Structure 1
Amino acid sequence: MTGYAARTRDVERGALHLELKSVNSRYLDFQFRICEELRSAEPALRELISARISRGKIECRLNFVPATTKTVPQALSGELLARLADFDAQVRAALPQATPLSVGEVLRWPGMFGDDTLDTDALVPEALALMREALEDFAASREREGAKLAAVILERVARIRELVRAVAPHIPAAQAAFQDKLRQRLQDAIGSVDDERIRQELVLFAARIDVDEELARLSTHLDEVERVLKAGGASGKRLDFLMQELNREANTLGSKSVVSAVSQTAMDLKLLIEQMREQIQNLE
């Protein structure tokens, strides 16, 4: 399912900015865009996401934004300044034509205002803490969408129950009428066969067109769909399986149908089941 979260965390010499996005996918897929300073943190970040998310195409962006300041540092590195002066004297002694270092070059010399190297090892724990915070927001956004999808699926479940309740009372009478019609046709076609043989054939036929079991299993599967959705948590794969079972029962119902009302109901059921299946592809 889709989700989004963004967090920023102030750290020494700058800030970390993390952004998480996800789109629908049946499997868990990662795409990381991480600054070079934090590339070593990717495996740990992947583990944190996997512990919370089991489905979706996840895009993670993590950047370090250096701090900018308008103040001019007041202290120069005396030791480095002395070393540069010594080097400058040695170079010009050997090469009199060499140009002396300018003030700008001296000020831009690495370490002139102290140790300005970035401690990337110290940034990794900060990045992991930031990911944990972002995952809370990310999971909450996915839960909100999941609740909306669950409501859509439950509405389809209610519609299927309505269709079954509407057609079920008419099935016995419709089947009995069809059997009477079939009995008359058999008698007309094979008048020499006794009534007992015709009765046996009709009993076998009635067993083949009986749909009570299919309707009962439909109801059981619908109960399970509602239970899974209300229980919450990762349920996409379980619901995928239930959609297969519901579709199986709808197909069997249609194949056993001897009246147009049941055939039409079976088609309507398959349409609603497919609509649910499409929504379930978006659930974790």
Structure 2
Amino acid sequence: MIYSMTGFGKALVQLPLKKITVEIKSLNSKNLDLSVRLPQPYKEKELEIRNVIAQQLERGKVECSVFIEVTGEETSATLNAPIVRAYIAQMKNIIPDADATELMKMAVRMPDALKVERCELDEQEWNEIVKVLNQALININEFRKQEGEKLGNDFANRISNIRSCMKEIEGYEEDRIKSVKDRLLQNLKELEVNIDESRYAQEVVYYIEKLDINEEKVRLTNHLDYFLETMNANEHAGRKLGFIAQEMGREINTMGSKSNHAEMQKLVVKMKDELEKIKEQVLNIL
């Protein structure tokens, strides 16, 4: 079973006074590239969150955001009464007839009129955040699994197309051998020399051996089988699939250089096209 590195997971919980939301997004990356956004009171827990995410997601460019929305009558800001009274007294000295309400409006806008108390870490709230984080990780892994299934189906189709092209190539191999024999014979006739049938047969065998692609077809078939086997194994094998795809490319390129036949070369181009699409998608595999 393969997993995609692309995914999105979200989870939330409603507490009496707050709503906690955790969102996790991931894209493909060679290693784990993790960024975490936390409310200020929970910055000290960033390392713990990073460890939890690293154990679950392993690879990818991951962004985790924790949002805390106050929904009840709770605030960390209070009026600094002595400062406000001092501002009002000063403004009354300047404008004795000023309306008290207007003076209050102006005073609360002045510097230091509000005291913001630093929120301390709430362990109960933190436990809720951990639960929501774990649920978001479950959700993103499910998303990755579904995306991986789609990629697996695409890989299977493209490998099937490569096999079909190999099968078609076999139909042109006899024609290619006949073409080689005819071309050699025609060249010899143009030279107007006596033909040594034994030597002619040796040259034909030599060229046929140079153009033989049976070994490449066997190796490519083995690589295709191994790719599917690795894809369906219970392991995260994105890098391994990339290496197998490279080996597949070597065999296809060798077949192309040996084909020496227009129709066979067209089929090799199709195989290369399918393989390039496989290589592009393998970069998204965990």
Q: TM-score, normalised by structure 1?
A: 0.75
Which residue of structure 1 aligns with residue 149 of structure 2? 147
SS of alignment partner, residue 216 of structure 1: helix
> Counterpart amino acid of 2:61?
K
> Counterpart amino acid of 2:276?
E
Say which of 52, 56, 72 aligns to 1:52: 56
Contact 2:24–2:64 (Cα < 8 Å) also in 1: yes
> Counterpart amino acid of 2:11?
R
- Report the number of matched residues: 245
Say which of 112, 120, 134 aligns to 1:132: 134
Say which of 271, 274, 285 aligns to 1:283: 285
**d(CA) in 2 for partners of 1:210, 1:12:** 76
Please state how far the C-alpha of 1:266 moved relative to its aligned partner: 0.8
Identity within the alignment, %? 27
Contact 2:249–2:272 (Cα < 8 Å) also in 1: yes
Contact 1:236–1:283 (Cα < 8 Å) also in 2: yes
Say which of 16, 20, 41 aligns to 1:16: 20
Within the alignment, does 1:3 sit opposite 2:3 as a pair? no
Within the alignment, does 1:250 sit opposite 2:252 as a pair? yes
Say which of 26, 37, 43 aligns to 1:33: 37
Please state how far the C-alpha of 1:23 moved relative to its aligned partner: 2.3
Deviations 1:28-62 (A, max 9, x none): 21122111111122222222222222332111001
**d(CA) in 1 for partners of 2:156, 2:203:** 42
Instruction: Decide whether aligned partners of structure 1 residues 37 and 253 sit closer, same or farther in structure 2, where only a CA change above 3 A counts.
Output: same
Contact 1:243–1:277 (Cα < 8 Å) also in 2: yes
Instruction: Decide whether aligned partners of structure 1 residues 110 and 222 sit closer, same or farther in structure 2, where only a CA change above 3 A counts.
Output: closer
Structure 1 unaligned segments of length 5 or more: list them: 71-107
> Counterpart amino acid of 1:254?
G
Please state how far the C-alpha of 1:276 moved relative to its aligned partner: 1.4
Contact 1:14–1:64 (Cα < 8 Å) also in 2: yes
Contact 1:214–1:252 (Cα < 8 Å) also in 2: yes
Which residue of structure 2 aligns with residue 206 of structure 1? 208
If asked which structure has higher relative contact order (CA below 8 Å, sep 6+), I would say 2
SS of alignment partner, residue 232 of structure 2: helix
SS of alignment partner, residue 283 of structure 1: coil
Structure 2 unaligned segments of length 5 or more: list them: 75-113
**d(CA) in 1 for partners of 2:120, 2:73:** 16
| Runs of at least 4 residues off by over 6 Å | 108-111
- Comparing 134-143 and 190-199, the one that deviates more: 190-199
Deviations 1:50-75 (A, max 9, x none): 222233211100133345139xxxxx
Which residue of structure 1 aligns with residue 178 of structure 2? 176
Q: CA RMSD in A?
A: 2.9
